[in-house]
Amino acid sequence: MVRVVWFIAIVLAAAAAQELSQPPELMQQPDGGAATVPLSNEDAELVKELALIERFELLRNLELFEEQEAKKPQEQ
């Protein structure tokens, strides 16, 4: 019984500590920080470049996967 009480106390303390560890500006915003902030032109360009790099990486991975699939039937 004592172990159960200690366990509940630890869980509640951890939850309270996690809530206090959030940055104050997130706790003050009613939407919890979900509102988007307009990006500067440099940031917007960087996001576009990162998205393009991610698409190329996905395409490259897909091509490698298709090459492996094409080799398997030939080996059998």
pLDDT digits (tens, 9 = 90+) for 3-50: 877 888 887 777 766 665 555 555 555 655 555 778 899 999 999 999
Rounded distance between C-alpha atoms, residue 70 and residue 66, angstroms: 6
64-68's contacts with Cβ under 8 Å and 24+ in sequence apart are: none
Phi, psi (5° rounding) for residue 37?
A: -100, 135
Interatomic CA distance for residues 24 and 29, integer angstroms: 9
Q: Which two tokens stand for residue 12?
A: 């509640």
Average pLDDT over residues 46-55: 94
Amino acid symbol at 59: L
pTM for the whole structure: 0.40
